[in-house]
Amino acid sequence: MRLQLVRRPQHSSLMAAVSPLIAFALTLIIGAIIFIAIGKPPGAALYAYFVAPLTEMWSLHELAIKASPLIIIAVGLSVAYLSNNWNIGAEGQFIMGGIFGSLIPIVFPGFQNVLTLPLMILFGILGGMAWGAIPAFLKTRFNTNEILTSLMLVYVAQLFLDWLARGWLRDPQGYAFPGSIRFPPAATLPEIAPSQGGAHYGLVFALFVAVALWFVMTRTLKGFEVRVMGASPRAGRFAGFSSKRMTYFAFLLSGGLAGLAGISEVSGAIGQLRETISPGYGFTAIIVAFLGRLNPLGAVVAGFVLALTYLGGEAAQISLGISDKLARVFQGLLLFLVLACDTLIYYRVRFSAGRKAGEAA
Amino acid sequence: MEMAQNIILTIMTAATPLLIAAIGELVVERSGVLNLGVEGMMVIGAVCGFAAAAVTGSPWIGVLAAIVAGALFSLPFGFLTLSLATNQVATGLSLTLLGVGLSGLIGEAFVGSAGLRLQSIAIPGLVDIPLVGRLLFGQDPIFYMSIALTAGVVWFLFRTRAGLTLRAIGDSHGSAHALGISVIKARYLAVMFGGACAGLAGGHLSLVYTPQWVENMTAGRGWIALALVVFASWRPWRVMAGAYLFGAVTIGQLHTQALGFGIPSQLLSSLPYLATVVVLVLISRNRRLTMMNTPASLGRPFVPDR
């Protein structure tokens, strides 16, 4: 039996809508098989993973805390990937945003007024942009592969944060433990509904950013430019678009948003600069971007789905003793299946027996 | 003298996994496929090699398991990119993410357990040659494999008909298909070879370099291997030179850390990554060199029409 792809005359809008759902359903089926293989009841395990976190108010807040950074980063990455600029170093830009934004409350602890938070956020965005500008500069100036350089800078950023949190920015009264002073209230991103749970204004940023970029991508010339440059840089050049400017736009936007996510996380969820500030949000956001079909609004839905796997992993470990490492497997699996199902949008898949498939396509 | 020999020895050990993974990826890219999943296949090789050695008590079975695991783990990537014509960049990335996740799960039971080291093999007679004897003939078995692998790939790519065919596929899959060559089948074989190499490279980490299992123990080496292929402009012997250069940077920074000097250890640890960026810049700024050597079909999906 042979598998054969037949290009559709037009891409299927039905498949474009349902392919992420098919991928999610397949992930659940494979998940059930994994649970059976490790001797856990599949029904209870899937419930713990994907339903239990949705049943209580406080855990919905936890879901929002985890979804916000994923959405903010993924929205930027969606635009970058659509323009064919492969920024896979969002994790590093997230960290740099966290560091830059934290400089204000740590270096100037006396500066506490209404300007503190806006300045921190501005610094966070600038930090992410600066880190994202490096691969963009190297790509446009020296033709260097942006995938490899942006990824290498993740490791550099992680080590830089580790050095700062153990050295220069460490709390002098912290008994030699790594980590900065705890931020004062003026430097803490407030909670949306403190009586119900801990979700902070990062969620508002996430929704705002998603809607704003959806508008830019679908209703403005800039959005058109991004699509054209991604699909055919040659056609774009004839239209007067510059591929170098597009590379900078993609990296500054996705880097800046990753930086915004970083400072929101540090200021809203953690409350101090630690030696690690991300459980891999910058990489998981890549999955979010693709699951959301590189659409900013899709990223919102996808962000919540991926956040659910983080929470579900913790829940299943407590209630059923299933390793929380399984959450990472689910995330990787989901991206794999999303990419596989995307083929259905552009191709019909046929199975033919034997090698004599001579019919006209 | 003894000290210099020891340092060179550790450099060669540090370079071996980079060399093996990069040689495998070189063959994959020569066939026109860009597999960014090297890091994932490598870490799967590392954990499977360690686990198999720990369970059976034989490091050799560990090596075998690492190779087989890497080759098998490359298959989902092959299926998606070759049979389903998905985006190679995104699919390779997802292979890395999946590999890192899966290796954490598999390795959970082995964290902290004592590892088995694959013993070095001294080649009688040759190992006593002054100066270079111990360096070239007193090494671990995977080192010998890495040299044989490099020479074998050079011979295959540039001296055999099959190698010529593989390069033709990488340069123009449409023409190769028109000539009746099975592009997809050849690419499957190349991808699996790359997976086996990445797996072996991972096995070297967990069975020779630091015989233990630590989550994420590949620490970006798969990505450095990818950079080495670009750095070497797709030439095997240059890959080897690049791998030893990176081995020297890695060991150099470790020795500097041990000596102190007051340089932050984090800065020294970031040197291999910064060096990767620097060499990529140096090599890519020469546009003609990269354009001439990059396989022309690299990263482009191929759907045979019939």
Residue B284 pLDDT greater than 50, yes or no: yes
Rounded distance between C-alpha atoms, residue B27 and residue A3, angstroms: 25
- Minimal C-alpha gap between B73 and chain A (Å): 13
pLDDT reading at A356 higher than 70: no
Report yes or no on A329 lying in a domain: yes
Candidates B113, B284, B121, B145; CA nearest to B211 is B113
Residue A29: inside a domain: no
- Residue to mutate among A2, A27, A82, A147, with most B CBs inside 10 A, is A147
- Percent above pLDDT 90 for chain A: 55
The whole-angstrom separation of Cα A289 and Cα A338 is 11
What is the pLDDT at residue A48? Answer: 86
Question: What distances in angstroms separate CA B43 from CA A55, A176, B50, B120, B197, one per listed residue?
Answer: 37, 34, 11, 23, 12
Question: With an 8 Å Cβ cutoff, are B287 and A143 in contact?
Answer: yes
At residue A359, the pLDDT reads 41
- Mean pLDDT over each residue of chain A, to the nearest integer: 90
- Mean pLDDT to the nearest integer, A146-162: 95
CA-CA distance, B105 to B133, in Å (whole number)?
Answer: 42
The rounded Cα A297 to chain-centroid distance in angstroms is 13
pLDDT digits (tens, 9 = 90+) for B74-93: 999 999 999 999 999 999 99
Give yes or no for a contact between A178 and A185, defined as CB atoms under 8 angstroms apart: no
| CA dist., res. B131 & res. B4, Å (int) | 10
CA B81/CA A78 separation, integer angstroms: 21
Evaluate if residue A4 carries a pLDDT over 90.
no
Min distance B106 CA to chain A CA atoms (Å) = 9
**B194 phi, psi to nearest 5 deg:** -60, -40
Instruction: Quote the Cα angle for A218-A223-A226, to 5°.
Output: 140
Cβ neighbours of residue A84 closer than 8 Å, sequence gap 6 or more? A229, A230, A233
Q: Which residue has the higher pLDDT, B287 or B34?
A: B34
Which of A153, A286, A343 is facing B93, going by the closest CB pair?
A: A286
Residues of B in contact with A146 (CB under 8 A): none
Q: Give B-chain residues touching A342 at CB under 8 angstroms.
A: 86
**Looking at the complex, does the CB of residue B91 fall below 8 Å from at least one CB of chain A?**
yes
Three-state SS annotation for chain A:
CEEEEEECCCCCHHHHHHHHHHHHHHHHHHHHHHHHHCCCCHHHHHHHHHCHHHCCHHHHHHHHHHHHHHHHHHHHHHHHHHCCCCCCCHHHHHHHHHHHHHHHHHHCCCCCCCCHHHHHHHHHHHHHHHHHHHHHHHHHHHCCCHHHHHHHHHHHHHHHHHHHHHCCCCCCCCCCCCCCCCCCHHHCCCECCCCCCCCECHHHHHHHHHHHHHHHHHHCHHHHHHHHHHHCHHHHHHCCCCHHHHHHHHHHHHHHHHHHHHHHHHHHHHCCCCCCCCCCHHHHHHHHHHHCCCCHHHHHHHHHHHHHHHHHHHHHHHHHCCCCCHHHHHHHHHHHHHHHHHHHHHEEEEEECCCCCCCCC
Residue among A5, A156, A330 whose CB faces B274 most closely: A156
Q: Does residue A35 lie in a domain region?
A: no
pLDDT, residue A360, reads 39
pLDDT of residue A193: 82
pLDDT higher at A211 or B124: A211
Please check whether residue A352 touches B, CB under 8 A.
no
Do the chains contact at A152 and B274, CB–CB below 8 Å? Answer: yes
CB contact at 8 A, B48 and B106: yes
Mutate to test the interface with B, among A146, A284, A339 (most CBs of B within 10 A): A339
Inside any domain, residue A353 = no
Where residue B152 falls among pLDDT bands split at 50, 70, 90?
Answer: very high
Whether the CB of B97 is below 8 Å from some CB of chain A: the reply is: yes
CB pairs under 8 A between A and B: 137
Q: List, for residues A76-95, the tens digit of each pLDDT value.
A: 999 999 999 999 999 999 99
Is A326 touching B (CB cutoff 8 A)?
Answer: yes
Q: How far apart are CA A242 and CA A225, in angstroms?
A: 9
pLDDT of residue A178: 86
Q: How far is CA B173 from the centre of its chain?
A: 25
Shortest CB distance from B276 goes to which of A5, A148, A333?
A: A148
Tell me whether residues A3 and B83 touch, CB distance under 8 A: yes
Of residues A88, A155, A331, nearest to B93 (C-beta)? A88
Residue A10 included in any domain: no
Chain B residues near residue A143 by CB distance under 8 angstroms: 284-285, 287, 290
Lowest mean pLDDT among A346-350, B13-17, B63-67, B244-248: A346-350
Matching residue, tokens 């500030």: A277
Please report the pLDDT score of residue B130 as a whole number.
76
Of residues A55 and A197, the one with the higher pLDDT is A55
Is A159 close to B269, i.e. CB distance below 8 A? yes
Using pLDDT thresholds of 50, 70 and 90, give the confidence band for residue B124: confident
Q: Tell me, yes or no, whether A264 lies in a domain.
A: yes
Q: What's the pTM?
A: 0.91
Question: What is the pLDDT, as a whole number, of residue A357?
Answer: 42
Report residue A97 as tokens.
């945003």
Domain residues for the domain of A236 are 58-335
Interface of A with B in 1-20 (CB under 8 A): 3-5, 7
pLDDT value at B193 more than 50: yes
Query: At residue A223, what are phi and psi to the nearest 5 degrees?
Result: -60, -40
Alpha-carbon gap: A193 to the closest alpha carbon of chain B (Å): 34
Considering only the beta carbons, identify the residue of B91, B230, B280 that sits closest to A339.
Answer: B91
Please name the member of A86, A325, A329 whose beta carbon is closest to the beta carbon of B89. Answer: A86
Supply the CATH number for residue A299's domain.
Answer: 1.10.3470
Residues of chain B contacting residue A333, judged by C-beta atoms under 8 Å apart: 98
pLDDT digits (tens, 9 = 90+) for A99-123: 999 999 999 988 888 899 999 999 9
Q: With an 8 Å Cβ cutoff, are B99 and A332 in contact?
A: yes
Average pLDDT over residues A129-156: 95
Instruction: Look at residue A355 and tell me whether its pLDDT is greater than 60.
Output: no
Distance CA B73, CA B64 (A): 14
In this prediction, residue A9 has a pLDDT band, given cuts at 50, 70 and 90, of: confident
The average pLDDT across A153-171 equals 92
Closest residue to A328, CB basis, from B95, B100, B277: B100
**Lowest-confidence pick of A269-278, B198-207, B287-296:** B287-296
Cα B302 from Cα B82, distance rounded (Å): 7
- Count how many domains chain A has: 1
CA distance B159 to B152: 10
Q: Are A164 and A273 in contact, with CB atoms under 8 Å apart?
A: yes
* Interface test with chain A among B34, B91, B94, by most A beta carbons within 10 Å: B94
Pairing assessment for the beta strands A347-352 and A2-7 based on DSSP bridges? antiparallel
- Closest chain B C-alpha to A196 CA, distance in angstroms: 33
∠ CA B214-B217-B221, rounded to 5°: 175
- What is residue B297's predicted lDDT score, i.e. its pLDDT? 87
The distance of B280 to chain A (nearest Cα, Å) reads 6
Which whole number is the average pLDDT over A17-29?
A: 89
In this prediction, residues A130-138 reach a mean pLDDT of 97
Task: Scan for tokens 């750095």, then name that residue.
Answer: B231
pLDDT of A199 reads: 86
Assign 3-class secondary structure to chain B.
Answer: CHHHHHHHHHHHHHHHHHHHHHHHHHHHHHCCCCCCCHHHHHHHHHHHHHHHHHHHCCHHHHHHHHHHHHHHHHHHHHHHHHHCCCCHHHHHHHHHHHHHHHHHHHHHHHCCCCCCCCCCCCCCCHHHCCCCHHHHHCCCHHHHHHHHHHHHHHHHHHHCHHHHHHHHHHHCHHHHHHCCCCHHHHHHHHHHHHHHHHHHHHHHHHHHHCCCCCCCCCCCHHHHHHHHHHHCCCCHHHHHHHHHHHHHHHHHHHHHHHHCCCCCHHHHHCHHHHHHHHHHHHHHCCHHHHHHHCCCCCCCCCCCCC
Answer positive or negative: Cα dihedral of A62, A339, B108, B199.
negative
Query: B111 — contact with chain A (CB < 8 Å)?
Result: no
Which 85-144 residues of chain A touch chain B by CB within 8 A?
86, 88, 138, 142-144
Q: Does A325 touch chain B (CB under 8 A)?
A: yes
Q: Tens of pLDDT along A237-250?
A: 888 899 999 999 99
Give the closest of A86, A145, A160 to B280, CB-based. A145
Let me know: does B290 contact A148? Beta carbons within 8 Å. Answer: no
Q: Which two tokens stand for residue B74?
A: 């490359």
Q: Does A27 touch chain B (CB under 8 A)?
A: no
Could you give the CA distance from residue B133 to residue B137 in angstroms, rounded to a whole number? Answer: 6
> How distant is the Cα of A156 from the closest Cα of chain B, in angstroms?
5
CA dihedral B146, B20, B302, A233 (to 10 degrees): -130
Residues of A in contact with B290 (CB under 8 A): 143
Give the residue on B whose Cα is nearest the Cα of A159.
Answer: B266
Could you tell me if residue A11 is inside a domain? Answer: no
- The pLDDT of residue A77 is 97
Provide the CATH topology of domain B2-293. ABC transporter involved in vitamin B12 uptake, BtuC (1.10.3470)
Q: Measured between beta carbons, which residues in chain A are less than 8 angstroms from residue B108?
A: 323, 325
CA nearest A164: which of A89, A98, A112, A120?
A: A98
